[in-house]
Amino acid sequence: MKDFAGVSISSLVKKYGSPIYIYDLDSMVGAVQSLKTAFEGQVEIHYATKANSHPLILKAFLKEKIGVDTVSWGEAEEALNVGFKPKDIIFSGVAKTSVELTQAIRKQIKQINVESPQELIRIGEIAKKLKKKAQVAFRMNPNVNPNTHPYITTGFRENKFGMDTTFLPELRGILRKYAKHLDLKGVTLHVGSQLRDLSGILDAIQKTIPVFLDLKHSGFHMETFDIGGGIGIPYDGSEPMDLKLYATQVVDLLKPLGCRILTEPGRILVGPYGILVGEIQYIKASPYKNFAILDTGMHHLMRPALYQAFHRMEKVGVVVSDDKVLYDIVGPICESSDVIGRDRYLPILEQGDLIAIRDAGAYGFSMASFYNAHALPKEIIISSKKATTLKKPHLPDSWL
Residues 291/284, Cβ–Cβ less than 8 Å: yes
Q: How far apart are CA 117 and CA 173, in angstroms?
A: 10
Residues 204/144, Cβ–Cβ less than 8 Å: yes
Contact residues for 58 (Cβ-Cβ < 8 A; gap 6+): 47, 49, 68, 78, 79, 82, 84
Best CA proximity match to 49, nearest among 364, 309, 358, 366? 366
Catalytic residue of the set 318, 334, 373, 400: 334
DSSP code of residue 78: H
- 334 catalytic per annotation: yes
**CA 137 to chain CA mean position, Å:** 20
Q: How far apart are CA 74 and CA 173, in angstroms?
A: 31
The amino acid at residue 130 is L
Number of H helices, E strands in the chain: 11, 19
Q: How far apart are CA 114 and CA 140, in angstroms?
A: 9
Q: How many residues appear in the chain?
A: 400
Burial of 24 (0-12, 13-18, 19+ CB in 10 A): buried
The residues with which 8 forms a beta bridge, in sequence order, are 3
Q: How far apart are CA 371 and CA 375, in angstroms?
A: 9
Catalytic residues: 334
